[in-house]
């Protein structure tokens, strides 16, 4: 591969030079970091990264290539959506040779196909320490001295950009799940389909309040949850019923807002495979996969709700549960992909609530 210079410019004036291994172009976004050691195909296709330039702190990236575009149940088997959502990728060392039984192409080829700029040869750990100290920052990847502005993706309704525009049905199981697509990861759908469900995936602003379903699921997604006014309004109406509700990541924040609570932006977010969360009123701790920049203000919850999980590192909220109704949520990703599957049992809890509600 011929070497081409490219640079990352942060809004605070720092310029970092490196070498391009992706699309020969420029991009702008919010610069964030992920400390996971594996899972770049899953992370890059996670809609929650919409508008963000992603730093991977693990030094060697690309060694196992990119998997095939195989589909099962009408969704891709090895990706979390139909395309790459990051605005750019920053790594330390790129592996020009890849080897894996399921590798169909190199990471570089995939990035170029999707027109995603990428830089290697960067001290990603020093860059991460800068963000940890000063907070998440806007940045731009500049190719060939292009003139490009800094763009704050959180000023936009990113959920509207990544949510599906039409209703799609998956599976033919016994229990009908109404899934609000705020940028859903495909593994959430996979985990639900394994549990005798029919998943009806609807747009973020779809009015489902008069539809019949056995359980309501609110997905993950990018950006500021307060931009999703239509979703919040519909969830608040769903709270008046007793149909089970399960929310993940952005879904947790939206449920908090719909209940009258508040959310806030974290200094640099949680993006990793190793976030420890404590289940409240127990001594049980789980290692979880996470990807979010906003969190629920636990002090803003009303008396009908209580915390379900708390982050051990910084004591931020990791889930809420209604005291009397079958509603609960997690800030982390029990479906993983990538990451640990320690909390996959929460999908069983959701189905158990549906079965119990069915007999009432």
Q: List the Cα angle 323/328/330 in 5-degree steps.
A: 135
Number of other residues whose CB lies within 10 A of the CB of residue 240: 8
| Res. 224: pLDDT tops 80 | yes
- At residue 176, the pLDDT reads 98
Q: Report the distance separating Cα 202 and Cα 194, nearest Å.
A: 20
Asked if 217 and 177 count as a contact pair (C-beta separation under 8 A), the reply is yes
Interacting residues of 299 by C-beta distance below 8 A, sequence separation 6+: none
Q: Could you report the per-residue pLDDT of 299-312, keeping only the tens digit for each?
A: 999 999 999 999 99
pTM: 0.97
User: Which DSSP letter does residue 177 get?
Assistant: E
Beta bridge partners of residue 293, listed in sequence order:
none
Secondary structure (H, E, C), 264-276: EEEEEEEEEEEEE
Residues labelled as active-site residues: 249, 333, 335
Strands (E), 21-159: 27-34, 52-56, 60-61, 66-67, 71-72, 75-76, 88-90, 93-94, 103-105, 118-120, 137-142
- What residue ranges define each of the domains in the chain, with the CATH number in brackets? 5-154 (3.50.30.20), 158-359 (3.40.50.880)
Number of other residues whose CB lies within 10 A of the CB of residue 196: 13
- At residue 335, the pLDDT reads 98
Q: Report the distance separating Cα 335 and Cα 331, nearest Å.
A: 12
| Res. 1: pLDDT tops 70 | no
Q: What is the mean pLDDT of residues 63-91?
A: 97
């Amino acid at each position: 591969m011929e070497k081409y210079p490219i640079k990352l410019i942060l809004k605070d004036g720092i310029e970092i030079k490196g070498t391009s291994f992706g699309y020969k172009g420029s991009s702008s976004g919010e610069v964030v970091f992920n400390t996971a050691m594996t899972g770049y195909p899953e992370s890059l296709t996670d809609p929650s990264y919409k508008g963000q330039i992603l730093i991977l702190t693990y030094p060697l990236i690309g060694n196992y290539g990119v998997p095939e575009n195989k589909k099962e149940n009408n969704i891709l088997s090895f990706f979390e959506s139909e395309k790459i959502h990051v605005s750019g990728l920053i790594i330390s060392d790129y592996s020009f040779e890849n080897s894996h039984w399921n590798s169909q192409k190199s990471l570089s080829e995939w990035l170029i196909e999707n027109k995603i700029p990428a830089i290697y040869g960067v001290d990603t750990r020093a860059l991460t320490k800068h963000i940890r100290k000063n907070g998440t920052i806007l940045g731009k990847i500049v190719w060939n001295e292009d003139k490009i502005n800094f763009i704050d993706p959180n000023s936009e309704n990113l959920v509207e950009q990544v949510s599906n525009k039409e209703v799609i049905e998956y599976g033919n199981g016994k229990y009908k799940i109404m899934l609000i697509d705020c940028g859903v990861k495909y593994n959430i759908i996979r985990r639900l389909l394994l549990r005798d469900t029919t998943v009806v995936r609807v747009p973020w602003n779809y009015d489902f309040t008069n539809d019949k379903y056995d359980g309501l699921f609110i997905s993950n997604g990018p950006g500021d949850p307060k931009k999703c006014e239509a979703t919040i309004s519909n969830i608040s109406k769903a709270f008046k019923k007793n149909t089970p509700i399960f929310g993940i990541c952005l879904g947790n924040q939206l449920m908090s807002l719909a209940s009258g609570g508040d959310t806030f932006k974290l200094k640099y977010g949680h993006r990793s495979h190793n976030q420890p969360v404590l289940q409240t009123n127990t001594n049980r701790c789980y290692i979880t996969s996470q990807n979010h920049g906003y969190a629920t203000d636990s002090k803003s919850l009303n008396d009908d709700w209580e915390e379900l999980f708390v982050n051990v590192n910084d004591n931020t909220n990791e889930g809420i549960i209604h005291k009397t109704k079958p509603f609960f949520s997690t800030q982390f990703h029990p479906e993983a992909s990538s990451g640990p599957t320690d909390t996959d049992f929460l999908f069983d809890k959701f189905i158990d609530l549906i079965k119990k509600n069915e007999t009432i």
